[in-house]
């Protein structure tokens, strides 16, 4: 007979017979110091006669992100530090406006050379879903040569879009990108919108 207990002290035991169940219940009723534990301990093995297994232990308090990083600094200082780290350590990639050779490893790089337009950022974000960076680089460059802007993508046929996407998989991403380009041309005069609500309306 399998019996499961999960008492308030956050210990959980799986008991395989009635005798062990009684032993486990007796232990649960004892104060912690009676079991050889002191307040504040988060992990300890407890032996019980019979086939009793401890599956989980007490949860330890984990500080929030704000407590770790923003206790001595304000949010603006933290943002500046984060942006500085990115500019120093970011990888060289085509959708960031860099020129070859590209770097898929996290090594220090120089500043970008080309201003990236929102359409290129959009394409890269869709391609990078569940796909490795080193795989996307060539596909992104070929795509931007074939469809350099939203209007050219909107004019393309489904077969042309699928051909440019062939090999990346998850073809629904290409279909939605094509559908979204048509919507941007129709509803936003061919310019990728900048507001959150408008961006969320795009497939």
Are 19 and 5 within 8 A, CB to CB? no
Closest CA to 19 of 55, 47, 54, 48: 48
| DSSP of 89-101 | HPPP-GGGT--SS
Q: Is the peptide bond before 14 cis (omega within 30 degrees of 0)?
A: no
Question: Can you tell me the distance from the alpha carbon of 74 to that of 91, in angstroms, rounded to the nearest whole number?
Answer: 27
CA angle 19, 57, 52 (to 5 degrees): 20
Could you confirm whether 76 is annotated as catalytic?
Answer: no
Measure the N-to-C terminal CA separation of the chain; round to a whole number of Å.
Answer: 53
Out of 58, 125, 134, 198, which one is annotated catalytic?
125
Sheet holding 52-56, edge to edge: 3-5, 12-15, 52-56
Can you tell me which residue has the tokens 């795009």?
202
Catalytic amino acids? 125
């Amino acid at each position: 007979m399998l019996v499961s207990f999960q008492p308030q002290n956050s210990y959980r035991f799986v008991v395989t017979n009635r005798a062990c169940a009684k032993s486990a219940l007796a232990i649960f009723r004892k104060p912690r110091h009676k079991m050889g534990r002191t307040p504040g301990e988060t992990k300890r093995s407890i032996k019980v006669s019979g086939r009793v297994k401890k599956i989980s232990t007490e949860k330890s308090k984990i500080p929030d992100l704000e407590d770790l990083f923003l206790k001595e600094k304000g949010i603006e200082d933290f943002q500046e530090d984060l942006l500085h780290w990115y500019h120093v350590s970011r990888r060289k990639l085509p959708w960031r406006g860099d020129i070859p050779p590209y770097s898929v490893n996290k090594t220090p790089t120089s500043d970008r050379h080309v201003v990236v337009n929102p359409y290129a950022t959009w394409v890269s974000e869709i391609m990078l879903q569940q796909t490795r960076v080193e795989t996307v680089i060539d596909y992104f460059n070929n795509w931007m040569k074939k469809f350099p802007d939203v209007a050219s993508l909107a004019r393309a046929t489904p077969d042309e879009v699928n051909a440019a996407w062939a090999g990346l998989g998850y073809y629904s991403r290409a279909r939605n990108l094509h559908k979204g380009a048509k919507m941007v041309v129709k509803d936003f005069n061919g310019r990728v919108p900048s507001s959150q609500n408008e961006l969320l309306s795009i497939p």
